[in-house]
């Protein structure tokens, strides 16, 4: 699996770019915003934590003079209209959107399969908040992003990109994350299912960051398990560097910087999508690998599945 390193010197490519993101109040989202503000990008973000958003805006505006602009709205990513309002705000101010980052997320809230469930308690539907935030909200965001990103870019001459925040749970077993893991599998699935269409039809790059544990409040209750085993932990600032690297560099040794999935552990990154497909004869077998390639060829960019029904 090839190493993938952040390139901080490329962040200047985001100067004057219009960036829309969710989940900016804390953690990775906050770190991304601080970097973007530092290089003079125009940032529009939303989060459900209104107080923390305002504190971040006040802190950045009180700092050194910057050519950047910064605006937030209270946002519930589960609501389609909230996502739409965020993009409308950016577009009305600047007449374009250049990059979109879906960072908002929540961790496991309850045990869907707890031993105390009985014939009576199982009749009460469980909360779907984790799926609603991590997957449905992300799909809403990505759908709206594709429309706003492609405005005024019919010739694909302008670099446009989407970055989705996944997790190690997007591709590796994480016992006990009964709903979080399916939601993060879906993040990787959305990137894989859209990357051909978005790039070839709309000129939009799409990538996924899949970090292991991040040192944020959201996962503070589990930190002791990592620390007890001496396992590497990511800092939010480190993960943010990978988000911004994918946005600021349109080409890489892999070719066009699109359709990539980067695993981040202890601040170090590895791109695994290319190797996964390159070695599929090893784990699928030669005949199955060839047949899967033929399926890919038959599907093209993926416009054959949907019907008008």
- Per-residue 3-state assignment (H helix, E strand, C coil) for 260-282: CEEEEECCEEEECHHHHHHCHHH
Residue 309 has pLDDT above 70, yes or no: no
Map out the domains of the chain with their CATH numbers: 3-278 (3.40.50.720), 283-309 (no CATH)
**What is the pLDDT, as a whole number, of residue 220?**
76
Question: What pLDDT shows up at residue 229?
Answer: 85
Question: Average pLDDT in the 200-218 region?
Answer: 93
What is the average per-residue pLDDT within 121-139?
Answer: 97
**Contact of 104 with 79, CB cutoff 8 Å:** no
Q: Which residues contact 258 (CB under 8 A, 6 or more apart)?
A: 161, 195, 198, 199, 205, 206, 207
- pLDDT digit string, tens, across residues 222-253: 878 888 888 999 999 999 999 999 999 998 76
CA distance 38 to 11: 9
The structure tokens listed for 69 are: 């602009």
The answer, yes or no, to whether residue 303 has pLDDT greater than 90, is: no
- Kindly tell me if the per-residue pLDDT of 118 is higher than 90: yes
pLDDT range class, residue 67, cuts 50, 70, 90: confident
User: What does the pLDDT average to over 187-195?
Assistant: 98
Q: Phi and psi (nearest 5°) for 179?
A: -110, -35
pTM of the model: 0.95
Return the DSSP state at 227: H
| Residue 308, pLDDT above cutoff 70 | no
Total residue count of the chain as it appears in this document: 309
């Amino acid at each position: 699996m090839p190493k993938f390193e952040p390139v901080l010197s490329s962040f200047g490519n985001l100067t004057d770019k219009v960036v829309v993101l969710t989940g900016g109040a804390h953690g990775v989202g906050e770190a991304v915003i601080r970097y973007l503000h530092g290089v003079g990008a125009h940032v529009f973000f939303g989060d459900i934590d209104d107080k923390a958003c305002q504190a971040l805006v006040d802190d950045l505006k009180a700092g050194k003079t910057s050519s950047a602009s910064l605006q937030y709205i209270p946002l519930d990513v589960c609501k389609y209209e909230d996502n739409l309002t965020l993009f409308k705000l950016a577009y009305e101010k600047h007449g374009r959107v250049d990059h979109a980052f879906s960072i908002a997320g929540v961790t496991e809230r309850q045990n869907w399969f707890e031993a105390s469930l009985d014939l009576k308690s199982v009749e009460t539907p469980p909360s779907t908040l984790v799926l609603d935030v991590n997957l449905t909200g992300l799909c809403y965001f990505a759908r709206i992003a594709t429309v706003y990103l492609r405005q005024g870019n019919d010739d694909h001459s302008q670099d446009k990109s989407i970055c989705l925040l996944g997790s190690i749970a997007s591709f590796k077993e994480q016992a006990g994350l009964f709903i979080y893991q399916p939601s993060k599998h879906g993040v990787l699935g959305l990137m894989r299912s859209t990357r051909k269409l978005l790039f070839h039809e709309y000129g939009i790059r799409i990538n996924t960051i899949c970090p292991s544990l991040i040192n944020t409040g959201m996962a503070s209750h589990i930190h002791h398990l990592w620390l007890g085993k001496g396992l590497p932990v990511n800092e939010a600032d480190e993960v943010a560097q990978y988000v911004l690297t994918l946005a600021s560099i349109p080409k890489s040794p892999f070719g066009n910087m699109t359709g990539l999935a980067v695993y981040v552990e202890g601040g170090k990154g590895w791109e695994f999508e290319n190797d996964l497909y390159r070695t599929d004869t090893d784990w699928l077998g030669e005949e199955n690998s060839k047949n899967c390639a033929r399926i890919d060829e038959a599907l093209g960019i993926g416009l054959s599945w949907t019907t008008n029904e």
